[in-house]
Amino acid sequence: MGKTANEAITLGNKTKFRELADNFGLPRLIITGFLLFLFIMAPLVGADFTTQLTNTINRFSWNAVLVLAMVPMVHSGCGLNFGLPLGIISGLLGGTMSIQFGFTGGMSFVMAIVIATPFALLSGGGYGWLLNRIKGGEMMIATYVGFSSVSFMCMMWLLLPYTSPTMVWGLSGKGLRTTISLEGFYDKVLANFLQINIGHLSIPVGSLLFFAVLAFLMWAFLHTKAGTAMTAVGSNPFFAKASGINIDRTRMLSVIMSTWLAAVGILVYQQGFGFIQLYMAPFNMAIPAVSAILIGGASVNKASIANVVIGTFLFQGIITMTPTVMNAAIHMDMSEVIRIIVSNGMILYALTRKTEGAK
């Protein structure tokens, strides 16, 4: 009798694990388990646990808005936004022009968003118009848009008439530097707001609240009439058209929203990082954001706020913790090599995984 009861309990546990694996996804369970293993190993190999947790939370707060920018385009059926650099460039224009116009402190961050907004609306509108012309090949064209916009701006950063000594090259006085310090401007403007410090643990409450507000607004929008129409367009465009929904206008709205969120997202990233990075830097932002939301459980036509939160934390946690723990364990400085291997491995998994959008 006891043996039968034990077998029933074992069977029940296996069933619960299968249900958990089906709901959460076995690969994400493995990644989550590996991240927990790294957190457990950190103090055992001599790495400070609270410092590593702080680093993970900080990187989450820097990148979460960029990952959130994926949601509108996914919902409208435009796919994963590989054209994210277009919005990032709008944010870079806002940040650099805010400094050029002499704004400092928190006001420079506010003005950076204000200045970036028209650039994001205009470029997002053109980007949306282009995607509406080539339905079915959005992600391929988005990649071209992202690459070409970065290449174009590599020339424009040298030609635009910036004069601020904080930003221009010292010898010629023309063209912007590759890296611009934000000290005295919007460096840590969100991260230091309501920051909580407990020993070595530091929580950037302001950055997290800023993301939470944007995430809530996105969730609320998706439950409005316009948001429901956007989801309908992505799920079944023929049904949406039969229901009287203007598909092209809805898709363009989603692209504009995604571009604007990317512009704001890079400003949030910059204030946490402490620097503006120009020229080829935007190339490195789109694929990690795409990978994070896929690891979080999204597909090419379905994404949620939970996918953003889970994916960003897992992705940033793994690439933060793995080099630190392995360096401490083997007593060799291989952090950059390990970080590249791990991040590219997760990107490869995310971009090749089977998505629900194929069903």
Q: What is the CATH number of the domain that holds 230?
A: 1.10.3470
What pLDDT tens digit does each residue of the chain (359 aa) get?
A: 455 655 555 555 556 556 555 555 667 777 888 888 888 887 887 777 888 888 889 999 999 999 999 999 998 888 888 889 999 999 999 999 999 998 998 899 999 999 999 999 999 999 999 988 888 777 788 888 888 999 999 999 999 999 888 899 876 668 899 999 999 899 999 988 888 888 778 889 999 999 999 999 999 999 999 889 888 888 888 888 888 888 889 999 999 999 999 999 999 999 998 899 999 988 888 888 988 888 888 877 788 899 999 989 988 888 888 877 777 777 666 666 666 666 666 666 665 654 444 33
The phi, psi pair for 356, rounded to 5°, reads -65, -20
Asked, for residue 142, whether it belongs to a domain, the answer is yes
Domain count along the chain: 1
Asked, for residue 289, whether it belongs to a domain, the answer is yes
317 touches 56 (CB < 8 A): yes
Q: Which residues contact 357 (CB under 8 A, 6 or more apart)?
A: 299, 300, 301, 302
Q: What does each C-alpha distance from 328 to 47, 50, 295, 316 come to in angstroms?
A: 6, 15, 27, 19
What is the gyration radius of the CA atoms in the chain, in angstroms? 22
Asked, for residue 73, whether it belongs to a domain, the answer is yes
186 touches 271 (CB < 8 A): yes
Kind of pairing between the strands at 275-277 and 201-203: unpaired
Asked, for residue 4, whether it belongs to a domain, the answer is no
Asked, for residue 20, whether it belongs to a domain, the answer is no
- Half-sphere exposure (Cβ direction) of 246: Cα atoms closer than 13 Å: 7
Asked, for residue 358, whether it belongs to a domain, the answer is no
Domain span holding position 190: 27-352
Asked, for residue 332, whether it belongs to a domain, the answer is yes
The pLDDT assigned to 1 comes to 47
Asked, for residue 357, whether it belongs to a domain, the answer is no
The phi, psi pair for 276, rounded to 5°, reads -100, 130
3-state secondary structure at position 163: coil
266 touches 96 (CB < 8 A): no
Q: What is the C-alpha to C-alpha distance for residues 238 and 315, in angstroms, rounded to an integer?
A: 36
